[in-house]
Structure formats: structure tokens, C-alpha cells
Structure 1
Amino acid sequence: MNSLRISGTVALTATALLLTGCGAADSTGSNGGTLKVAVLAASSQNGYNQAVYQGVQEAAAASGKKISLKLLDGQFDSNTQLSQLQNVTSTGDYDGVVVVPNDGVGLAAAFPLSRKIPVATVLNPVGPDINKMEPQVDGVVTTVGVPPTTAAEKQAEGVATYCADINPCNVVLLVGNLSTPLDVARRDAYKKVLGTHSNIKVVSTVEGQYDRDTSLKAISNVLQAHKDVNVILSNADQEAAGAQIALQNAGIKPSSIYLTGAGGTKDAVAAVRAGTWKAAYVNFPVSMGKAAMEQLVKAMDGGTAKAVVNADEVGATEPYATKETLAKTPDFTGEWNG
């Protein structure tokens, strides 16, 4: 979940794509009746961002309008994405922006925009408060997301329930990148909840960099020092997948501990259904991209966009997934591949 660096295997091409809905009517765009939208991915090589872009494309095609999309690759670099946002909002060539911020705090430096066009942000807000979904800067018209602290606290509460009868309950925190405000907020939320339980001991906090192999190495090192781990709590499914391999390599059955990730990849959903993982916090990136584009179209048409779209409510299953909750939606497999 942005710097939610979730890797993908299929790269998107940063090129313009014209989408025309059935029965399309001319819009009031600045490009000869076509609305031109820049889609700023944190990384166009990234599976999560690819899924968001898929949702944007689907909503554009269903809008009944002529919409041209231009995908830009932020390369997981805050300065690159900031420059891209400044460029597309100053040329007069674009009517709107959808952005998956790599660093929403730093991206606020682009505001106020040199040319006022609506911006929809996905996953992370733009502004100084990583937990405030309401627009914090003039120009952002909608945020599709949930406060990362709220989501992280929910994950940690599941751990606390599991640990209730274990003393000590040894927990490893596997966090993406502790140089970003998003992951610092998650880490702090984990520790806040777990710290209220005297039987829970956080024995190690390591970075997984949203990468399976990095997480495999990190957890392998942890298990050499701590052989009696009860919980591995991660904020990303690829990290939990790496932890699973590390456990297996160490002769530990993954289902014998509380292993949990976040993001809602198809592999993660399958692992929870099978009981290999105890839980996963599910994201719905395709549905989130759709919601962002739908609200952006409203704003480009001169209407009022919904300021906040709760990302936990746009999918087809409960976001805090366990084997029991997933049984209620047997057809749900996840919206993306990690």
C-alpha cells in the first residue's frame, strides 16, 4: 500500500491513449473537444500503479466522453514526479491529473498550481498530513484512500488478538521503507497498538522495500537471531511472500505463526484462503483508479467532485481479510498481481 512499491511484471507504456465512450458527446476540454488527462504513476513499472491505471482507463472509456490519457513514469523518485506535475499543470495542454503520489508530502510543493486544473490523488493524500484524506491543498479535488494509521492499527489489532494467550508473543515488523512518511506512520501505528499489550515484544523491525527478495533476505537474517518468532506483520504482500519463503527455508511452517501482509494481491488472497497466511489487508487498486477518474470527470465538467472516496468501500470484499471473511465472497480473487 505511497510509496506503496508493489512490483509488477508488465510495464505500462507512457504514451497517449484516446478512449471514446459509446454515445460520446463533445466535452469542453481545451483540446478540440477531447479531455486530456495526465496520469502520474509513482512508477509505471509497478503492479499496483498498473492496476490503478487500468481502473482509470476503464472509467474513461465508460464516461461517454472523448478522453486522452497520457501516462508518466515517476520512477519512484519524488523529484521526478514533482517536476512532472509542475510541467503538466503549466503547459495548458491538460484538463486534469490523476496521481499516485510517491511522496504526497513533498508533492505539495507543486501547489498552488501555475494553471488551475483539477487533481485526483490515489492511495496517498497530497499535503503535510499523511492521515488527512480531505484535500489539503488548493487544486486537489478528490482523494481515494484511507488514513494509513487507521489501516495499520487494524492490522496490529489482529496481531494483538492472536497474541492474547501467548506470553511472550514475539513480533517482527516488516515495513517497506522507513525513509518515507507513509511507512513511518505505519510503523508508529503498529508500535502504538502493540505497545499497549505487556505480553507482546517487538523483537525486530526491518525494511522489505516492497520486494520479495529483499524481504526474504531480511527475514532470513532475523530468524537467525530470533528462532521463536510468533508473528510477522508486514505492510505489503510481496514482503510477506518473501517472509513466507524465509520461514520455509528455516524449517518453519508459515501457517504455524501469524503471517500477514497488505495490498490484496491475488497470491495473498489465495494464501489467506488456504490458511498459509492468517490475514491480509486488501486494497482495490483497479476500483480506486475508477473512482478517481469518475470524480475527476465531474470536476472537469465543472461539477463538484466527492472530496474523499473511502478506498475500503470500493471493492468486492471486506478489506481486512481472513479465511472467515473471504468465505463470504468466494468469487473474489484480488484485483491485481504483485
Structure 2
Amino acid sequence: MKLKKLYLVASVTLLAITLAACGSSSDNAGTNEKVTKIAFFGFWKTNSFTQAVLAGVKETAEAQGIEVVDLSPTEYDGAAQIKSMQDQTVKGDAQVYITLAIDPVGLATAAKEAMDQGIKVVAAFTPLGPRFDTLEPQVPGLIVAGETPISNGTVLGNLAAKACADKNPCNVAYLEGFKTLPLDNARTKAFGQALAASAPNAKIVASVEGGYSPDSGKKAAQDALQANPKIDVMVGSSQAILGAEGVVNTAKVKLIGNGSSTEAYAAVKSGKWFAIYNSDIKGMGSKSAQLGIDAANGKSVDSVFDTTTLLDPNGTKDVIGDLVGDYSDLG
């Protein structure tokens, strides 16, 4: 009888331990215990585009109790961004990285080092690696949530062709970002090819470096007009086109901005600009964060998300509707 009693007590104790263990497993299954911190590497800290992407990352992460640390460099410096990622990998307290690559080729190496340590890396906006014609990860294990410079340039070329519909010949000025950046070179080439394919009546009469500020855009527009005063369409970064707006006659020159800032949306709605490259910047940050969190928590995720599916990128007035943008080109 005594032996029977001891057996019963032992059985009940074992059952209690088993149930407690099962309960513990069930309780943890719905938490994000694997992901406690996301490290964000943007273009530079005060850049308004970077801040818009970061806002989307934070909104998604913080709703799940996950900390986000902004490790963007203080200025547009690819080497500093790479070092920041390498330092964080050594520190090792973040489970997810989200990047806006300044140097897609150089950062790919730092990303691989991080992934070798089990960190999930999401390349937002721009893929990592030497190829600019594909979103497919060029580093095994990478997740990409963005667009290619090729697709971006193609949309801009098609918008310019649309702007040229009522002009024959149609003289186009293209204000390239930075001629030293391979991704800008790829975008420029795609722009020219798309324009030629869609508008045989169009001709690029000026191709100058417009950069990513109103001041550089203003100078580029002046140089383009000096080389050829009869320009019908001008295309460049939204920041550059803001500068060009004060130089050209907007009643005669159709302006197209590569960006989705509050100023760009307002310019299209007012009729000052013909179109913009329409994109959901905050939404891209949010999607990137969720992909990284899910992957780090062991869920199966697609390695590629095309952010042009968030909004129609062909941002003419009829397409943008009531959209207002998530960042300022002047901020």
C-alpha cells in the first residue's frame, strides 16, 4: 500500500512537471522572444527619406515590443555605414538588420559576415551586390524588400515618353544623380532605353549630374538649358527637380521627379510637375521589419518582396490621388 502511494505521488508530480513544460512551450510560441532588437542602417541620420523608412520599421517593431536602434552614419558615407554594421555584428545584440545601402557591393560583404553569425539581414530599397537588374538575393540568406535601379529607370523613361506624347520632336533633359555611382549609371541607362523604346519622337539633348539637392538640381537645369534652350521634358531626383523648378518655365517644360516627398506630391497636384516616381516609403520600412522579424523567429518568408507592388509607381496626377508623402525633400 505504501509503495502504491509513493508511485501515485511520483506519477502526479511527473504529470505536473510535464503539463508545466507544455504550458511553458505554448506560452512562448506566440511571443517574439527570439527578436528583441533590430539594427537599422540608413543613408544618414538626418536624411528625411531614411527617417521615413525608419518610421515604418519602428511602427511595426515597437508594436511587437521590439527595440529599434538607428545606426545610420552621420553623413552619406558608404565606408562608415559598412563599419557601423561590422561593429554591430561584433557587439551581437541585434537579431535583425535592415539596410538602405549606400554602397550595395561593399555592404554585401558586411551583410554576409552578419548572416554567418545567424543575424537576419533585410536589404530595403536597394538590393545588395553588383547586379542592378534583379531583386533575387545575391548573398545567400539575404531578404530583399525593394526595387531595382533598372526598374526605377524604366518607369522614369516611360513617364518621360508619356510627357512627350504631344511633342515631335521632344527634347528631354536627364539630370542623373551621381555619375560616380554604379546604381545611378544603371538607372540612367535604363531610362534612355525605355524612352527610346516608347517614344521614337524623343531625344535626350542634355544629360548632366543633378545630384540629390535643390541647389545641385538648379545648377544642372541651368547647364542643361544653356546647352539646349528648347527643352520639353526634364527628369531628375525629386530634390533636383525642386531646384530646377525655379529655373525652367513650368508652363513649357514638363518636370518629372524621382521621389515621393511631400513637395513632389504637392507639385504634381498643383500642375507644376507632370509626374513623380510614386512609392510607399514608410510602407517599405514596415514590410522590411516584418519580414526580418518573421524570419528571425523561424517562420518561412519569401526572400524577395517587390515594393513597387505597394503603390503604382507611375505617379501622374490621376494615379497619386490624395497621397501626400511620408518625408520632405527640404527636411
TM-score by length of 1: 0.82
Please say if 1:27 is aligned against 2:26.
Answer: no
Please say if 1:209 is aligned against 2:218.
Answer: no
CA deviations 1:234-266 (Å, max 9, x no partner) are 1x211111111111xxxx2x1322210121111
Write the letter of the residue equivalent to 1:324: D
Query: 1 CA distance for matches of 2:300 and 2:138?
Result: 16
Segment drifting more, 149-158 vs 264-273? 149-158
In the other structure, the counterpart of 1:133 is: 135
Q: Secondary structure at the match of 1:227?
A: coil
Query: 2 CA distance for matches of 1:233 and 1:183?
Result: 13
CA deviations 1:123-180 (Å, max 9, x no partner) are 001112122212211242x211122212211221222233244233111101111211
Greater C-alpha Rg: 2
After superposition, residues 123-202 of structure 1 pair within 5 angstroms as 123-140=125-142, 142-196=143-197, 197-202=199-204
Kindly state the Cα deviation for residue 267 of structure 1 after the two structures are TM-superposed.
1.1
Kindly state the Cα deviation for residue 26 of structure 1 after the two structures are TM-superposed.
5.2
CA deviations 1:186-224 (Å, max 9, x no partner) are 100111123345432211111122101111112112222
Judging by fraction of residues, say which structure has more helix.
2
Query: 1 CA distance for matches of 2:182 and 2:226?
Result: 30
2:313 to 306, 314, 319: 319
Question: In structure 2, do the counterparts of structure 1 residues 42 and 128 end up closer, same or farther at CA, with 3 Å as the change threshold?
Answer: same
Are 2:261 and 2:327, in contact at CA under 8 Å, matched by a contact in 1? yes
Are 1:255 and 1:278, in contact at CA under 8 Å, matched by a contact in 2? no
Question: In structure 2, do the counterparts of structure 1 residues 36 and 226 end up closer, same or farther at CA, with 3 Å as the change threshold?
Answer: same
Kindly state the Cα deviation for residue 52 of structure 1 after the two structures are TM-superposed.
0.4
In the other structure, the counterpart of 1:71 is: 70
CA deviations 1:63-98 (Å, max 9, x no partner) are 3xx312111123221111111222222332221111
Are 2:175 and 2:211, in contact at CA under 8 Å, matched by a contact in 1? no
Counting matched residue pairs gives: 297
Kindly state the Cα deviation for residue 35 of structure 1 after the two structures are TM-superposed.
0.8
Write the letter of the residue equivalent to 2:106: G
Write the letter of the residue equivalent to 2:263: D
In the other structure, the counterpart of 1:223 is: 225
Are 1:105 and 1:130, in contact at CA under 8 Å, matched by a contact in 2? no
Query: 1 CA distance for matches of 2:31 and 2:77?
Result: 36
Segment drifting more, 265-274 vs 104-113? 104-113
Query: 2 CA distance for matches of 1:198 and 1:93?
Result: 55
In the other structure, the counterpart of 1:267 is: 263
In the other structure, the counterpart of 2:20 is: none
Query: 1 CA distance for matches of 2:82 and 2:104?
Result: 10
Please say if 1:334 is aligned against 2:330.
Answer: no
In the other structure, the counterpart of 1:16 is: none
Are 2:124 and 2:284, in contact at CA under 8 Å, matched by a contact in 1? yes
What is the RMSD computed on CA atoms of the aligned residues?
A: 1.9
In the other structure, the counterpart of 2:109 is: 109
Query: 2 CA distance for matches of 1:213 and 1:257?
Result: 19
CA deviations 1:15-68 (Å, max 9, x no partner) are xxxxxxxxx975333xxxx612111112111110000000011001223xx312
Query: 1 CA distance for matches of 2:148 and 2:196?
Result: 20
Write the letter of the residue equivalent to 2:189: D
Write the letter of the residue equivalent to 1:221: D
Question: In structure 2, do the counterparts of structure 1 residues 320 and 194 end up closer, same or farther at CA, with 3 Å as the change threshold?
Answer: closer
Kindly state the Cα deviation for residue 291 of structure 1 after the two structures are TM-superposed.
0.4
Kindly, what percent of the aligned residue pairs are identical?
31
Kindly state the Cα deviation for residue 185 of structure 1 after the two structures are TM-superposed.
0.9
5+ long unaligned stretches in structure 1: 1-23
Q: Secondary structure at the match of 2:66?
A: strand
Write the letter of the residue equivalent to 2:204: V
Query: 2 CA distance for matches of 1:334 and 1:112?
Result: 33
